[in-house]
A and B are shown apart, each in its own frame.
Chain A
Amino acid sequence: MGNLDIKLRVDASGLSCPLPILKATQGIKTVASGDLIEVIATDPGSVKDFDAWAKATGNALVEQDATGGKFRFVLRRK
């Protein structure tokens, strides 16, 4: 985890669908192609949503994990 060069962290905790993917879309537009962003969400639906979002937008879902009700996604801009 510590070795990833995260350019932007987006905290979408407490936000319900579709705001986590909305915030991610907003955030990823502010970094360059190939850069990584990290999104934290608490919406359980975000696990399937980020998978679908990555497939639809072509941005890569590089890492994901869940700890203590928080879901973490690392995304690489296309």
Chain B
Amino acid sequence: MDETISIVLFSGTDDKLQAAAVLAAGAAALGRPVKFFLQYWALAAFRADQITADHGLAPEAGAAGRAAVDAAAKAGHAGWVATLRAAKELGEVDIQACSASMDILKLKQSDLDPMVDGVEGVAAFYINAGEGQIVFI
């Protein structure tokens, strides 16, 4: 069985980025390789000048969800950037930007946080995913 987990990360709100970071960190702790493919709004969130900004929450969060997330952050829960950096330090976590999304958003790799390892197209993503599972967030 191919143990690689490939995560297509499309969404750019902090809750969905956190959900993806948790999946990646868990896989890294189990020794499973993780590959990210960043598209659209997730890619925008990885801009070096935006990565620590408030990216909001998914619409279904509402005011109660916002309050719950704020309380967790205040209680010291790690945010998605810290979780992802820890996962990368610990295991085999490769983060690739989707070249089409880079083009649409007019980004160069130098615009992105150094956590992003490179830029690739969808064919390369599929080849690297191999027979492993693909998750879309």
Report the contact-size class of chain B (Cβ under 8 Å from the partner): 10 to 19
Contact status B30-A26, CB under 8 Å: no
Interface of B is mostly: helix
Interface string of A20-33 (1 = CB under 8 A from B): 01101110000000
Which A residues have a C-beta under 8 Å from some C-beta of B?
A: 14-19, 21-22, 24-26, 49, 52-53, 56-57
Which B residues have a C-beta under 8 Å from some C-beta of A?
A: 22, 25-26, 28-32, 72, 75-78, 83, 86-87, 89-91
Q: Return 28 A-B CB contacts under 8 Å, by A number.
A: A14-B75, A15-B78, A16-B72, A16-B77, A17-B22, A17-B26, A18-B29, A18-B83, A19-B25, A19-B78, A19-B83, A21-B29, A21-B30, A22-B28, A22-B90, A24-B29, A25-B28, A25-B29, A25-B91, A26-B86, A26-B90, A49-B26, A52-B30, A53-B29, A56-B31, A56-B32, A57-B30, A57-B31
